Every structure is written in C-alpha cells, then in structure tokens.
Amino acid sequence: MFEFYLSSTRVIADISGALFWPEKKTLVFSDLHLEKGSWFAKQNIPLPPYDTLDTLNRVEKVINCFKPSRVISLGDSFHDETWMERISEEQTERILNLTNSYEWLWIQGNHDPSGAPSLGGINVNDYFDPPLTFRHEAKQAFADGEVSGHYHPKARIKLNRKSFSARCFISDERRVILPAFGSFTGGLNVMDRTISNFFNDDFKVLLLGSKVRQFPKTALIS
C-alpha cells in the first residue's frame, strides 16, 4: 500500500490496483472488463475462460481487506454490452451478493455505456463526493480531485541496467488515473501523450510489483 494525497485528500494505492479513500470508506476499482474472455471466444479467438472468475476472486479479496462501506467501479466493468448473455449464473450471484452487501456504484464506460442495471447497485455517468469526482475517462478541462480509469496505465523504468514495465497509478496530486484491474487487460505507457498530457510535468507513478513503489517522471522511459 502507498498513501498519497489527491486534492489534499488522503488516499491509498493498493498493490492490487484498487484505490481506497479512508475518510469515506470508499474502495475504487477500474476497468474490470468482466467476460472479456468469452467475448474473444465469440470472435473465434480461444482464450482461457476464467478471467471473470479470477477478477471477482481478486475483487472479493481486496474488499475483505479494506472492508469498505462503498464500492465504485469506474467503468468498463464489463467488456461489451452483451455480457449478460454469456456470464454464468454462479458469477451473476457473486456480483449480486456484492452489490447487495455494499453501497455500489457502476460508472458507465465506453465498453458498457448501459452499466449493469440487472446486477444491483446504482448506474451513473460520473459521481461527485467533494472534493473528489469519479468518472471513467479523464477530462482535459477538469483536474482537481478527479479519479478515473480507461487508459490502463503502465510504466517502464530502468533499474540496474535492466528495464521492465508494470501497471501503475499516475498522479500529479490533482488527478489520478487508475490501472486496469481486470485479468485480461493490456496497458498504455504513461509517457504516451494520450496519458501524459493530462498531467503536470512533475507527475509521479506508483508502480505495482512486489510492493507499490513511487517513481518520478524522470525515471521513466518510453
């Protein structure tokens, strides 16, 4: 875990890729992309059909660790709009158990613009709880206290003559973009202007590995 401040608000970056807001007992996930494996199977691209199972196992593990009162899923919780035709009854029951146990917010994403109306919780486009605003995709004109996902950030660094990349949080203490939490999710290098243009030049990344480690922009490579 790594504590940092966002718009003067203390938050915690978890090694899992989730974000916790202690003051409001709020746990935040981004880009679960449930049923992505079964979507690929429909396209005749065989992948192991266990991504939803694995992602939900990890969601439950993090929830049990932080014991939140509110959970926010920052959009692209499901990989496409026909996920309900493919998800198993067992996984549906697991999600319903979660949404019935906590105040649960589904932020609508570009992959799931309709949200998850059949699975409990509340479906919203974005959500404001001062001083933080939660949405799927960052807005260029908006910064202070913004929490978003969408871009699946990862960072590449060089240590001891070796380079490696991993999922990461990226923040300049005004806004933060969370890493994708789902099992079948790739990543975009934070040095790509698609991501870096949202941040001040002094942004930092919180790299996920055996622990959460902070690195400045100057330590990153493209």
* Residue 139, CA distances (Å) to 40, 62, 136, 195 in order: 30, 28, 10, 11
* CA dist., res. 168 & res. 191, Å (int): 12
CATH number of 2-221: 3.60.21
3-state secondary structure of 150: coil
Domain boundaries, the chain: 2-221
Q: What is the DSSP string of 53-121?
A: HHHHHHHHHHHHHH--SEEEE-S--BSSTTGGGTS-HHHHHHHHHHHHHSEEEEE--SS-TT--TTSSS
pLDDT for res 72: 97
Tens place of pLDDT per residue across the chain (222 aa): 899 999 999 999 999 999 999 999 999 999 998 876 555 556 666 666 668 888 899 999 999 999 999 999 998 888 566 656 677 888 888 899 999 999 999 998 776 656 666 787 889 999 999 999 999 999 987 779 999 999 999 999 887 777 888 999 999 999 999 999 987 677 899 999 999 999 988 899 999 988 999 999 988 988
The sign of the dihedral angle between the CA atoms of 63, 61, 151, 201 is: positive
Q: Which two tokens stand for residue 77?
A: 């919780």
* Angle, CA of 172, 214 and 4, to the nearest 5°: 55
Of 167, 165, 130, 127, nearest in space to 151 by CA: 167
Beta pairing class for 220-221 and 188-189: unpaired
Task: Give the bridge partners for 163, in sequence order.
Answer: 158
